[in-house]
């Protein structure tokens, strides 16, 4: 910050600090990076989903304007089973503007491919506090990935639980819950 001098050049007035905006979202990949990012979609479609060992799943969702089936591979933050129904919790690293996220807001019914199995799911959007708790639990299980993900999204973290909780409160999380009796 550069000091501003008053009329008498004796008094210095420091400008008020400008509040920093929220996290900066990374730009969407283009060109070769986009092709590399889309590679897991082709791997799932070729039957190689089990190679990801549950860390990634293929989300098949409906385009909000086209109505066409869209495919996106996303990382699973947490996977659970309750009342005989599986659920997968995922995060939108590109924020609420990510196409798959916006498509689920419009049409929450989708299909996921986990390994070789397909499951009809409904999307449930989680509150910020629950997202913070999820990220705080995720970080100790996958410390390098959590640190890289946080840096990718513009956050500075020291590895502490509170830092990851703060990151999780700023990232939109979605829980994909299997429809009753819908596994194929």
First to last CA, the chain: 60
Q: What is the pLDDT along the chain (184 residues), one digit of tens a residue?
A: 444 444 444 444 444 444 444 566 667 678 888 777 778 888 888 888 888 888 899 999 999 999 999 999 998 999 999 888 999 999 998 889 999 999 999 999 999 999 889 999 999 999 999 999 999 999 999 999 899 888 888 888 988 999 999 999 999 999 999 997 655 5
Beta bridge partners of 73: 58
Instruction: Please report where in the chains the tokens 């190679």 appear, as a residue.
Output: 51
**Angle formed by the axes of helices 128-141 and 143-152, nearest 10°:** 130
pLDDT of residue 178: 96
Q: How far apart are CA 10 and CA 24, in angstroms?
A: 39
- Neighbouring residues of 88: CB distance < 8 A, sequence distance ≥ 6: 57, 76, 78, 79, 112, 114, 121, 175, 176
Per-residue pLDDT at 2: 47
Q: How far apart are CA 133 and CA 141, in angstroms?
A: 13
Q: Are 12 and 3 in contact (CB under 8 A)?
A: yes
Per-residue model confidence (pLDDT) at position 25 = 62
């Amino acid at each position: 910050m550069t000091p501003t001098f008053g009329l008498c050049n004796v008094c210095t007035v420091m400008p008020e600090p400008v509040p920093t905006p929220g996290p900066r979202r990374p730009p969407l990949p283009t060109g070769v990076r986009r092709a590399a990012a889309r590679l897991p979609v082709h791997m799932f479609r070729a039957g190689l989903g089990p190679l990801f060992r549950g860390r990634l799943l293929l989300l098949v969702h409906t385009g909000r304007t086209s109505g066409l089936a869209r495919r996106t591979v996303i990382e699973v933050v947490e996977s659970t089973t309750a009342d005989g129904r599986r659920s997968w919790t995922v995060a939108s690293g590109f924020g609420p503007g990510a196409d798959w996220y916006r498509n689920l807001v419009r049409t929450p019914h989708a299909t996921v491919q986990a390994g070789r199995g397909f499951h009809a799911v409904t999307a449930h959007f989680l509150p910020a506090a629950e997202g913070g708790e999820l990220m705080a639990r995720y970080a100790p299980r996958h410390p390098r990935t959590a640190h890289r993900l946080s840096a990718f999204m513009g956050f500075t973290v020291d590895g502490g639980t509170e830092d990851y909780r703060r990151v999780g409160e700023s990232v939109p999380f979605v829980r994909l819950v299997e429809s009753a009796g819908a596994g194929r």
